[in-house]
């Protein structure tokens, strides 16, 4: 029996890893055990046995990582020990570079095949990090078309497999019908998937929603799905009275809400691509600690756009409000332009209609990735 180590430290990676695990299991008759770092989606496949739970590793911001170092190193030491004991036949690593690149380096040294699926965004860093990634892995599978061009420009071979969100959205069916009054607008609100994101972003979003609510004379609903890495209470505990009065925390999934939303107000990240595939116009907000912002601008190629949807389109289509620029009045104005100007709203939706074809290769991304991974077993 083969044993594959998976490392998926983020909420979005958990979902993609779950689809990948199911695809691998469906494509081979050999008995395979899947284990490692993951979350609910991976566990719910019935095929994955967690050694660490990703909710305990959801860190945010360069500075905030420091507080999690003991926990991260404990997990890293565990995986190294298990590698030395011959526990893994291959490893599949998803994003989460601070942890996974260190793990990849050790695994490669021990001659364990390492497949990096959903590569870190090294194109935003110095190119030297891309070469390190190449040295530490057996194969890299990218999910954005421009990533393949970036690596090729450095003489690094990668395989573009398409974006795994396409698998998720293709099979999506709304759980319930969300009703709204005539003329009422629905704004999906996603303030992040980590506790620290909520701490920094939620207060700004609350004030923004208050302005929008006033301008639309109350004829708007703000629906908040709970990210898999969070609990409803995590959001409630961080809400001011303004937020409690306006924001509706719901058990519905983000997809349920996207399917009826007129606009999305969200933190930068995977959610921007999800909203784009539902063709919902968006406003992107991102805030971190002052020190993290300093490090971000110092070590990362900070040039707008930074939102993935804008990067895919190759131009600034959807407004991005980062750090000091994230002023509630400015953010609200952008959301209201989309909600009240039909021409503007239609133009934004026309741009979003291009995203699906940009991310598709005509075959299930999870199946394409699974076929590549099986070659290494």
Domain ranges of the chain: 2-162+361-374, 185-359
So what's the pLDDT on residue 158?
93
Which segments of the chain are extended strands (E)? 2-8, 32-38, 48-53, 90-94, 114-117, 139-142, 159-160, 185-190, 220-225, 247-250, 263-267, 282-286, 320-322
CA distance 290 to 220: 33
> Token digits for 377?
């077993």
Report which secondary-structure segment, H or E, holds 79. helix 69-84
CATH number of 185-359: 3.40.50.2000
Given a contact cutoff of 8 angstroms between Cβ atoms, the answer to whether 116 and 134 are in contact is: no
Burial, 182: exposed, middle or buried (Cβ in 10 Å; 0-12, 13-18, 19+)? exposed
Report which DSSP code applies to 63. Answer: T
The answer to whether domain 2-162+361-374 and domain 185-359 are alike in fold is yes
Q: How far is CA 189 from CA 59, 101, 209, 362, in A?
A: 20, 32, 9, 31
pLDDT the model gives residue 114: 97
Tokens matching residue 81: 């020990």
Is residue 30 within 8 Å of 2, Cβ to Cβ? yes
Q: By C-alpha distance, which of 321, 304, 249, 309 is closest to 280? A: 309
Per-residue pLDDT of the chain (377 residues; tens, 9 = 90+): 999 999 998 888 999 999 999 999 999 999 999 999 999 999 999 999 999 998 776 655 555 555 567 778 899 999 999 999 999 999 999 988 888 999 999 999 999 999 999 988 777 666 678 889 999 999 999 999 989 888 988 888 899 999 999 998 988 988 788 888 889 999 999 999 888 899 999 999 999 999 999 999 999 999 999 988 889 999 999 999 999 999 999 999 999 999 999 999 999 888 999 999 999 999 999 988 777 777 666 666 556 677 899 999 999 999 999 988 999 999 999 999 999 999 999 999 999 999 999 999 999 999 999 999 999 99
Cβ-based burial of 339 (10 A; exposed 0-12, middle 13-18, buried ≥19): buried
pLDDT of residue 98: 81
Q: For residue 65, count CB atoms less than 10 angstroms from its CB and return exposed for 0-12, middle for 13-18, buried for 19 or more.
A: middle
How many other CB atoms are found less than 10 A from the CB of residue 333? 16
**Which superfamily does 2-162+361-374 belong to?**
Glycogen Phosphorylase B; (3.40.50.2000)
Question: What tokens appear for 57 in the block?
Answer: 């590793």
Long-range CB contacts (< 8 A, 24+ apart) of 170-176?
172/255, 172/259, 174/255, 174/256, 174/259, 175/252, 175/253, 175/256, 176/252, 176/256
């Amino acid at each position: 029996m083969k044993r594959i180590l998976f490392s998926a430290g983020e909420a979005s990676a958990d979902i993609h890893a779950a689809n990948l695990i199911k695809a691998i299991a469906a494509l081979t008759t050999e008995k395979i055990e899947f284990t490692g770092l993951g979350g609910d989606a991976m566990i719910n496949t019935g095929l994955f046995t967690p050694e660490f739970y990703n909710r305990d590793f959801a860190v945010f911001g360069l500075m905030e990582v420091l507080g999690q170092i003991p926990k991260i190193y404990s997990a890293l030491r565990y995986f190294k020990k298990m590698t030395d004991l011959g526990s893994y036949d291959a490893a599949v690593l998803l994003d989460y570079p601070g942890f996974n690149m260190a793990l990849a380096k050790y695994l490669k040294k021990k001659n364990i095949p390492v497949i990096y699926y959903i590569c870190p965004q090294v194109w935003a860093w110095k190119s030297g990090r891309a070469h390190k990634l190449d040295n530490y892995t057996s194969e890299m599978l990218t999910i954005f078309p421009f990533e393949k061009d970036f690596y090729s420009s450095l003489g690094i071979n990668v395989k573009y497999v398409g974006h795994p969100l396409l698998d998720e959205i293709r099979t999506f069916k709304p759980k319930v019908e969300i009703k709204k009054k005539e003329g009422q607008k629905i704004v999906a609100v996603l303030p992040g998937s980590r506790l620290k994101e909520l701490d920094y972003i939620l207060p700004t979003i609350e004030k923004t929603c208050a302005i929008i609510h006033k301008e639309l004379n109350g004829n708007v609903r703000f629906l908040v799905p709970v990210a898999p890495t969070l609990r409803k209470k995590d959001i409630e505990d961080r809400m001011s009275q303004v937020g409690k009065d306006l924001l509706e925390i719901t058990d519905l999934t983000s997809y349920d809400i996207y399917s009826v939303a007129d606009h999305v107000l969200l933190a930068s990240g995977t959610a921007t691509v999800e909203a784009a595939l539902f063709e919902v116009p968006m406003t992107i907000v991102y805030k971190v600690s002052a020190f993290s912002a300093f490090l971000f601008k110092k070590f990362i190629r900070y040039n707008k756009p930074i939102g993935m949807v804008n990067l895919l389109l190759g131009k600034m289509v959807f407004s991005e409000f980062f750090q000091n620029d994230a002023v509630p009045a400015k953010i609200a104005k952008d959301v209201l332009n989309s909600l009240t100007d039909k021409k503007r709203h239609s133009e934004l939706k026309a741009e979003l209609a291009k995203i699906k074809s940009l991310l598709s290769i005509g075959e299930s991304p999870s199946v394409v990735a699974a076929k590549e991974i099986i070659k290494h077993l």
